[in-house]
Amino acid sequence: MTSAYALSEAASRSAGQIDAVFIFITAVSLFFFLLVEGLLIYFAVRYRRKKASEDQATSGVTSNLLLEVVWVLIPSLVVIAFFAYGYVVYRDVTTEAPGSSEINVVAQQFSYEFKYPDGRTEVGELRIPARRPVKLIMTSKDVLHGFFLPEYRLKQDILPGRYTYLYLHPDKEGTYDIFCTQYCGVGHSQMRGKLIVMPPGDYAQWASASAEAARATLPLSGQGKALLEKTGCLGCHSIDGSAKIGPTFKGLFGREIHLGDGREVRADEEYVRESILDPGAKVVKGFSNIMPTFKGRLSGDDITAIIAYLKTLSGGDAGKGERKEEGEKKEK
Ligand SMILES: [Cu+2]
């Protein structure tokens, strides 16, 4: 039986961890609440002034060092424990698990679109295999949306012109709700999706069947490659490691980039997006700021595809999504 006050099913590793923090904080708070209120009532009864006479005057105690140290120290330790435990879980929930497969999420009024690295695209239904970590790379085509998975206890805003991430650890097979939690327009309440966690074997079967159907369209990285050629990026950037007017794309994604102003940044999705739309914001050391902006010429979908291609040019992370898919096919 589900009650309005009960937590919904905890269907992922993160859900279990977050529930544990929540229950820990609630239980400790409840303990101290009952202790303090209980003593308050007890003392009020025990030491109440029975009759208004001289011999029941308030005693003259003004301080007690030991007592004061104890009641400052214990609550401080309790609050530090809340922070430490919460922080450990927060770090784990917001860190990419090694070997995660990547899925792009594009939100728009009033639906979610899911793009797999091999070109598969689904609207409203996110299918993933059980017990394999997944990284969602999310952006919006129009306004602010909020991606909420109650059974995973996870929520992350999705913004136009920016990538945000969510890391899933699907423990249990099943179908779960996806809601939008930002009021994004008249259809907001209908902006729902389904997360379908499948047995890995079934997933591999589904993936290869729908990849067959998607073969007509290029995989995401192939679309990205075509865009680089069509848009003229390769006039200034090489893909083989040689420097042209601009730095090479080979090994770019995931690398630590030295900027002309002395800063160092990691080349992630957000860095590449900014480099394309606002090239002057971060200029690579040793190069001059002559790259034109492609704002208005490349859409968010285009940039997502270009990023997918750049990933295939990076050693360690190269084609992570693709390799994953191959692995799944072999397993079948
Ligand atoms: Cu929305």
Q: Ligand 1: distance of its center to the CA of 138 in Å? A: 13
| Mean local confidence (pLDDT), 34-48 | 93
Whether residues 21 and 86 fall in one domain: yes
Whether residues 245 and 291 fall in one domain: yes
Over residues 180-195, the pLDDT tens digits come to 999 998 889 889 999 9
Whether residues 316 and 250 fall in one domain: yes
What is the Cα Rg of the chain in Å? Answer: 27
Please indicate, yes or no, if residue 310 is contained in any of the structural domains.
yes
Task: Tell me the two tokens of residue 10.
Answer: 């905890």
Whether residues 189 and 258 fall in one domain: no
Helix or strand holding residue 319 (H, E): none
Cβ(190)–Cβ(109) under 8 Å? no
Q: Ligand 1: distance of its center to the CA of 147 in Å? A: 8
Look at 310 and 208; give whichever has higher pLDDT: 310
What pLDDT sits at residue 8? 85
Q: Ligand 1: distance of its center to the CA of 272 in Å? A: 25
Q: What is the DSSP letter of 115?
A: E
Residues in the chain: 332
pLDDT at 332 exceeding the cut of 50: no
Q: Which of 79, 95, 111 is the last residue of a domain?
A: 95
Q: Which of 188, 214, 240 is the last residue of a domain?
A: 214
pLDDT at 34 exceeding the cut of 90: yes
Whether residues 175 and 250 fall in one domain: no
Over residues 158-168, the pLDDT tens digits come to 999 899 999 99
- If one counts the domains in the chain, the total is 3
Whether residues 190 and 108 fall in one domain: yes
Read off φ and ψ for residue 305, nearest 5 degrees.
Answer: -70, -40
Q: Ligand 1: distance of its center to the CA of 113 in Å? A: 12
What pLDDT sits at residue 2? 59
Please indicate, yes or no, if residue 153 is contained in any of the structural domains.
yes
What pLDDT sits at residue 54? 66
Q: Ligand 1: distance of its center to the CA of 181 in Å? A: 7
Whole-angstrom Cα distance, residue 44 to residue 92? Answer: 46
Q: Ligand 1: distance of its center to the CA of 237 in Å? A: 37
Q: Which of 214, 243, 267 is the last residue of a domain?
A: 214
| Mean local confidence (pLDDT), 93-106 | 93
Burial of 50 (0-12, 13-18, 19+ CB in 10 A): exposed
Please indicate, yes or no, if residue 277 is contained in any of the structural domains.
yes
β 101-108/134-140 pair status: parallel
Please indicate, yes or no, if residue 1 is contained in any of the structural domains.
no
Q: What residues contact 192, with CB distance under 8 A and at least 6 apart?
A: 124, 177, 178, 179, 180
What mean pLDDT value characterizes the chain? 87
pLDDT at 325 exceeding the cut of 80: no
Look at 213 and 292; give whichever has higher pLDDT: 292
Please indicate, yes or no, if residue 60 is contained in any of the structural domains.
no
pLDDT at 142 exceeding the cut of 50: yes
What pLDDT sits at residue 307? 92
Q: Ligand 1: distance of its center to the CA of 104 in Å? A: 16
Over residues 232-280, the pLDDT tens digits come to 788 788 888 888 788 999 999 999 999 999 999 999 999 999 999 999 9
Cβ(322)–Cβ(118) under 8 Å? yes
Please indicate, yes or no, if residue 50 is contained in any of the structural domains.
no
Whether residues 200 and 155 fall in one domain: yes
The gap from C-alpha 19 to its chain's centroid, in whole angstroms, comes to 18
Q: Ligand 1: distance of its center to the CA of 220 in Å? A: 24
Please indicate, yes or no, if residue 57 is contained in any of the structural domains.
no
- CATH code of residue 106: 2.60.40.420
Report DSSP letters for 213-235, one per residue.
HHTTSPPHHHHHHHHHHHHTGGG
Answer positive or negative: Cα dihedral of 92, 94, 96, 97: positive
Whether residues 147 and 106 fall in one domain: yes
**pTM for this entry:** 0.72
Over residues 306-324, the pLDDT tens digits come to 999 999 998 644 334 333 3
What pLDDT sits at residue 84? 97
Look at 5 and 305; give whichever has higher pLDDT: 305
Whether residues 181 and 245 fall in one domain: no
- CATH code of residue 273: 1.10.760.10
pLDDT at 78 exceeding the cut of 90: yes
Task: Give the domain extent around 113.
Answer: 101-214
Please indicate, yes or no, if residue 324 is contained in any of the structural domains.
yes
Residue 57 pLDDT grade (very low, low, confident, very high; cuts 50, 70, 90) = confident
The gap from C-alpha 101 to its chain's centroid, in whole angstroms, comes to 14
Q: What residues contact 322, with CB distance under 8 A and at least 6 apart?
A: 117, 118, 219, 221, 312
What pLDDT sits at residue 222? 86
pLDDT at 298 exceeding the cut of 50: yes
Distances from the Cα of 140 to the Cα of 20, 136, 293, angstroms: 32, 13, 20
pLDDT at 104 exceeding the cut of 90: yes
Whether residues 227 and 323 fall in one domain: yes
Q: Ligand 1: distance of its center to the CA of 105 in Å? A: 13
